[in-house]
Amino acid sequence: MSRLPTDPAPDGALRERAPAKVNLTLRVLGRRADGYHDLSSLVAFAGTGDRLALAPGAGLSLALAGPGAATLAADADNLVLRAARHLAERVPGLLAGRFTLDKRLPVASGIGGGSADAAAALRLLARANELAAGDPRLFEAALATGSDVPACLFGRSCLMEGRGEALAPVALPRFGAVLVNPRLPVATADVFRALALAPATRRAEASPSPSGASRAMLLEWLRAEPNDLEAPARRLVPALDTVEAALATTPGVLLVRMSGSGATMFALYADCRAAAAAARSVAGAHPAWWVKSTVLGGPGSTET
């Protein structure tokens, strides 16, 4: 992989967005005998994210740009390349080429940045090779790449279950949102290790997701459905308490919770204006943090 200071993708390159994935809830229902965990998570996608481009051609390579490029430079097995290789195993003669990743999301932050990048790579390869969006080989390659990649390939609000292979679309009302990461990466494996579920353990099932519910009904359901990884993540990253406190005091906040395995916290607001004001306040008080106002849910998301 090479690191580049700006977006150097050539004219004519295919381009895709890789939006941040936010786990509005995350229940760990048990640990299977094979070591994977069974999950139930209500997932939404934000207006903010990474950008990925592909110049189709011979070979397979990846160039890095953006504020997260330096962090990823040492990773020779980036999920973009891994996804491309898994698809090549399933599609004889797959045309690949040179990817350029503009890394804007913090790394190892619980908002699916790497998984979203991998899903974007699969979408780009599908376009370059004239594969239908519903080609089952795309889903197979996504699941082989990582448990969050199928949901990111789906790219719409959904209930994600199993180890990530079972997806059901969910209609969500639109919220303004603020994402905050204290720039402290946390490894998903470390959080699951801290959760310490023994193999073949089963836990209580999640309650049915309220697809199409009103904002008030959804908020009531969200407050009753936790992120089971938040407690072990807080033990590993005590700074999450400070992030939560900073978001909880912003005007108009409706809910504050950790996404995924952390360490990104999100806060929901009635509209984008309230979210933008909260983001300015938090960023002003904590300039070292990554802070982003955006939108979640609704018919579509646009970055603010």
What digits encode the pLDDT tens for the residues 203-212? 777 777 778 8
229 and 141 belong to one structural domain = no
The pLDDT tens digits for 100-109 are 999 999 998 9
Confidence of residue 304 (pLDDT cuts 50, 70, 90): very low
Which of 116, 151, 169 terminates a domain? The answer is: 169
- Is the pLDDT score of 164 beyond 50? yes
Question: What's the domain count of the chain?
Answer: 2
- Other CB atoms within 10 A of residue 53 CB: 23
15 and 102 belong to one structural domain = yes
Check 50, 102, 117, 148 and give the catalytic one. 148
Q: Residue range 142-153: average pLDDT?
A: 97
Helix extents (H) in 146-256: 149-154, 188-195, 215-224, 230-236, 239-248
- Is the pLDDT score of 302 beyond 50? no
89 and 235 belong to one structural domain = no
Percent of the chain at pLDDT exceeding 70: 94
Confidence of residue 301 (pLDDT cuts 50, 70, 90): very low
Q: CA angle at residue 142 from 71 to 19, to 5 degrees?
A: 55
216 and 287 belong to one structural domain = yes
Which of 114, 119, 163, 121 lies closest to 139 in space, CA to CA?
A: 119
Asked whether residue 110 is domain-assigned, the answer is: yes
The pLDDT tens digits for 5-35 are 454 677 789 999 999 999 999 999 998 888 8
pTM, 2 dp: 0.92
231: containing domain:
175-296
- Other CB atoms within 10 A of residue 299 CB: 8
Q: Which of 146-150, 152-156, 203-207, 209-213 has the lowest mean pLDDT?
A: 203-207
Residues 6+ apart with CB under 8 A from 191: 229, 232, 233, 236, 261, 262
Instruction: Report the CATH number that the domain containing residue 131 is assigned in CATH.
Output: 3.30.230.10
Q: Residue range 164-169: average pLDDT?
A: 95
Asked whether residue 199 is domain-assigned, the answer is: yes
179 and 159 belong to one structural domain = no
Confidence of residue 116 (pLDDT cuts 50, 70, 90): very high
Confidence of residue 1 (pLDDT cuts 50, 70, 90): low
87 and 138 belong to one structural domain = yes
Asked whether residue 301 is domain-assigned, the answer is: no
Task: Check residue 35 and give its pLDDT.
Answer: 81
SS3 153: helix
Which of 169, 203, 228 terminates a domain? The answer is: 169
Strand partners, 102: 51, 65
Task: Check residue 198 and give its pLDDT.
Answer: 83
Work out the mean pLDDT of the chain and round it to a whole number.
Answer: 92
Q: Would residue 148 show up in a list of annotated catalytic residues for this protein?
A: yes
Asked whether residue 158 is domain-assigned, the answer is: yes
165 and 91 belong to one structural domain = yes
20 and 157 belong to one structural domain = yes
The pLDDT tens digits for 53-76 are 999 999 999 999 999 888 887 676
23 and 109 belong to one structural domain = yes
97 and 63 belong to one structural domain = yes
Q: CA angle at residue 193 from 191 to 197, to 5 degrees?
A: 115
Task: Check residue 86 and give its pLDDT.
Answer: 98
Which of 169, 184, 204 terminates a domain? The answer is: 169
Q: Residue range 175-184: average pLDDT?
A: 97
Asked whether residue 203 is domain-assigned, the answer is: yes
Task: Check residue 300 and give its pLDDT.
Answer: 47
Instruction: Report the CATH number that the domain containing residue 191 is assigned in CATH.
Output: 3.30.70.890
Q: Residue range 164-171: average pLDDT?
A: 95
**HSE-up of residue 270 (Cα within 13 Å, Cβ side):** 4
Q: Residue range 89-99: average pLDDT?
A: 98
- Is the pLDDT score of 136 beyond 60? yes
Asked whether residue 106 is domain-assigned, the answer is: yes
Asked whether residue 303 is domain-assigned, the answer is: no
The pLDDT tens digits for 240-258 are 999 999 999 999 999 999 9
Confidence of residue 303 (pLDDT cuts 50, 70, 90): very low
Asked whether residue 119 is domain-assigned, the answer is: yes
148 and 245 belong to one structural domain = no
196 and 164 belong to one structural domain = no
